[in-house]
A and B are shown apart, each in its own frame.
Chain A
């Protein structure tokens, strides 16, 4: 009887194993580009970048690491998932404007969720890189 178990293909295990994970974290979709899935990488980049920058445009807040508030620290953990976007936002001094609209809180959530989605995306790229996912 033929087995239906699919064994993952281990085709891309040469070089630094965590390159896709790190690249995917720093730039959304870059990990998928490294593994040759450029359509997926482009879609991930557009989705996560749009979510982050729309959050900034909605006057969302960029959390800081050392405020002493547990909820702020959790927010920072999500924000830092945006990789270089977060660094760019901090360098450009974005994400701490006075709240003028009711949707500004949604902007904050957009930024945090964009970071969390990018963590998922980077881990997916890593799974593709090591052959755990086809």
Chain B
């Protein structure tokens, strides 16, 4: 059984989804890497921002 922390699950999800988005949504290798990194940063960044919002609401 694999029981990652919530944040580890986010990192895994963002990594795998970003690889697929990068490869399928762009045509050149350079653009794929750039778009994949952009997606990864957006996935993780939005999660961290939403986490802070929820923390501040609960406080």
Q: Do A and B come from one complex?
A: yes
- Count B-side interface residues using an 8 Å CB cutoff: 17
**Nearest chain B residue, comparing its CB with the CB of A52:** B16
A121, B13: Cβ atoms under 8 Å? Answer: no
- A-B interface pairs (CB < 8 A), number: 62
Q: Report if A47-B19 is in contact (Cβ < 8 Å); known contacts: A57-B2, A101-B3, A106-B9.
A: yes
**In the assembled complex, how far is the CB of residue B5 from the closest CB belonging to chain A, in whole angstroms?**
8
Q: Report if A120-B24 is in contact (Cβ < 8 Å); known contacts: A58-B3, A101-B1, A103-B6.
A: yes
Classify the interface of chain B: helix, strand, loop or mixed: helix
State the CA gap A98–B4 with chains docked (Å): 17
Show the binding face of A for B, using Cβ within 8 Å. 40, 43-44, 46-48, 50-51, 54, 57-59, 100-101, 103, 106, 109-110, 113-114, 117, 120-121, 123-124, 133-134
**Which residues in B have their C-beta under 8 angstroms from that of A109?**
13
B13, A103: Cβ atoms under 8 Å? Answer: no
Asked whether B42 is an interface residue with its Cβ less than 8 Å from the other chain, the reply is no
**In the assembled complex, how far is the CB of residue B36 from the closest CB belonging to chain A, in whole angstroms?**
10
State the CA gap A54–B15 with chains docked (Å): 13
State the CA gap A54–B4 with chains docked (Å): 10
Q: Report if A120-B4 is in contact (Cβ < 8 Å); known contacts: A103-B9, A110-B13.
A: no
**Which residues in A have their C-beta under 8 angstroms from that of B2?**
54, 57-58
A-B contacts, 20 of them at CB < 8 A, read A40-B23, A47-B17, A48-B16, A48-B20, A51-B12, A51-B16, A57-B2, A58-B4, A58-B9, A101-B1, A103-B6, A103-B9, A110-B9, A114-B16, A117-B16, A117-B20, A121-B20, A121-B23, A123-B24, A134-B27
